[in-house]
Chains A and B, each alone.
Chain A
Amino acid sequence: MNRRIINRRLDKAFKILGIASTVFGLLVLVVLFVNVFLEGRSRLTWDFFSSFPSRKPELAGILSALVGTIWLMVITGLVAIPLGIGAGIYLEEYAKKNRLTNFIEINIANLAGVPSIIYGLLGLGIFVRYLKLDRSILAGGFTLALLVLPVIILSTREALRAIPFSIREASYALGATKWQTVRYQLLPASLGNIMTGIILAMSRAVGETAPLITIGALTYIAFLPQNPITFLEKFPFIHFTLRGLLDPFTALPIQIFNWVSRPQKGFSTNAAAGIIVLLGLTLAMNAVAIILRHRYQKKIRW
């Protein structure tokens, strides 16, 4: 009898401990958000978005960092999304269960756990030095693409795995080839989950700092990469160039890192303001991903 009461009390106590542990992280998150917001909100003016970095904290802005981040995301997405989805489709739908496949799978699992700074060293060795792309946006984009590739592959596979086998059998029964089955049945059905994975992967890339520092992103960039499209007054009226890809660059997290590491008070305020922008970006992307996942989970009932 006594024992039962003790057990019940222990049970209750553990439940409270469990709730406390679960809430703990969220509380820290709230403290972090409030702290950053109070510290940085005074700097969030239009000037902050439209100015280049400066020696004087009150004049410094994130224009070149923001533009750099956008360029990086475009390159990373263009490279990593098709390659990641392709690899995911191959491993889930085509690959036979043999040693090579097994090896590729272990390899991807390991790559997903390799510290991001190692990718920076890879980018430095291959893209910056060997391919002589120098410390350019292109080198940065390629490096980030390799970094997020395993995430996209894994989420594509998971999305495909969630589709019941009967869908494939029905498609084959109608005489569809393998690729037709993938293209017209499996991809449309798994698009929501694949998109979720891609957005999460890209939100990770937005905040990556270490690999970009390693390949040599600069912190003081007072110009923008050359615009890919310029409009002319004479024929052919439009000039298209990709030379901007080879310009040196900075990115939002790099700029924040630079400001955090300076001792003057003004710069830590700038860092907080930059963090508000960066957090806004990543959280918005995460929110979209969560909504997408929720919506597709509801819609599809096999």
Chain B
Amino acid sequence: MLSNKRFVLKFKEFLIEKLLFLCSLLSVFTTIGIILVLSFESIKFFKEVPITKFLTDTQWTPLFINKHFGILPLLCGTFLTTLIAISVAVPVGLISAIYLSEYASWRIRNIVKPLTEILAAVPTVVYGYFALLFLTPLLKKIIPSLSGFNALSSGIVMGIMIIPMVSSLSEDAMRAVPMGLREGAYAVGSSRLQVSLRVVLPAASSGITAALILAISRAIGETMIVAIAAGQQPRLTLNPLVPIETITAYIVQVSLGDTPHGTLEYRTIFVCGMTLFLLTFILNIFSYKLKKRFQEIYE
């Protein structure tokens, strides 16, 4: 009787473990699913459009009569908005992180941190509205030649959106630096700023780099802000004042239209998705490895 009960219990334990294991495998299936869906349609696409054309053609006009399938203009748009976003988010986020980690009292930190998290919680469609209907008209007063749709205001708003990400991840990295390093520097008479910039910042550099890479990856994949405020004109330019189109915005544009399933135009969104996935995948893995490394150093 007892052994029977024990057997049931053991079997239940076994079953539960397998069930939980399956739950965790779902994430692997998700990745496999993404890769399969993207490559399935991409392969069909590359049967019709040679990959050299895709990588070197300087025009992207799949929806026009004169079709060109060069990813460069879209990549250029993505690069431009990401660049603007990063140049806003990195200085502001990093300085704020140094302040919160090295200068602010725990009381201030406890108030400010949840507040800045709100910035990250605002849906991106709201930021898109803000970029198009608030920031662009405002910037137009300073730069009259600014178009209604442009890379500048969507890039800036995107930068503001990722400030909390940069600041909170960098702060985590800085706080992981052992107190002894700081005390040593203070003991030889360094000021707070010197300790922050010459001791803490270098010691936390791999964690901070991981944060920056993650921020870049986030900016590359950001969709709604650029779909709303950056325009729908793929062009090979670094001029932030004119309408452009990013990879993500193009996918939205096609998804909203009525491009029939199974056509070459329809497949372009999967090729764009593949490009986007590869870009962010490389950045994410790189960031993950860097983060692991800095955790190992101080644990």
Which residues of A pack against B, CB within 8 Å? 7-8, 10-11, 14-15, 17-19, 21-22, 24-26, 28-29, 31-32, 35-36, 39, 82-84, 86-87, 89-91, 94-95, 103-104, 106-111, 113-122, 124-126, 129, 146, 149-150, 153, 177-179, 200, 203-204, 206-210, 213-214, 216, 253, 256-257, 260-261, 268, 271-272, 275, 278-279, 282-283, 286, 290
Contact = CB atoms under 8 A, between A and B. Distances in A.
8 contacts: A18-B100, A106-B288, A111-B27, A114-B277, A115-B280, A117-B223, A275-B125, A279-B126
Contacts of A26: 115-116, 119
A207 B123 contact: yes
A179 B19 CA distance: 12
Most chain B beta-carbon contacts within 10 A, residue among A11, A19, A22, A261: A22
Most chain A beta-carbon contacts within 10 A, residue among B24, B133, B224, B269: B24
| Nearest 10 interchain pairs by C-beta | A115-B221, A207-B123, A18-B99, A125-B37, A86-B23, A90-B20, A87-B24, A210-B223, A87-B23, A113-B284
B34 interface: yes
Interface string B122-153: 11111011101110000000000000000000
Given A90-B20, A90-B24, A286 B121 contact: yes
Contact of A104 (B17, B28, B98, B288): B28
Contact of B98 (A18, A25, A149, A290): A18
A120 B264 CA distance: 19
Given A179-B12, A260-B133, A86 B103 contact: no
A90 B126 contact: no
B212 to A, nearest CB: 13
Interface residues of B, number: 89
Given A31-B134, A210-B251, 17 more contacts: A18-B103, A19-B99, A25-B92, A26-B119, A28-B160, A35-B130, A107-B27, A109-B284, A111-B31, A113-B287, A117-B276, A122-B34, A125-B33, A207-B122, A260-B125, A283-B121, A286-B117
A11 B281 CA distance: 40
A14 B103 CA distance: 10
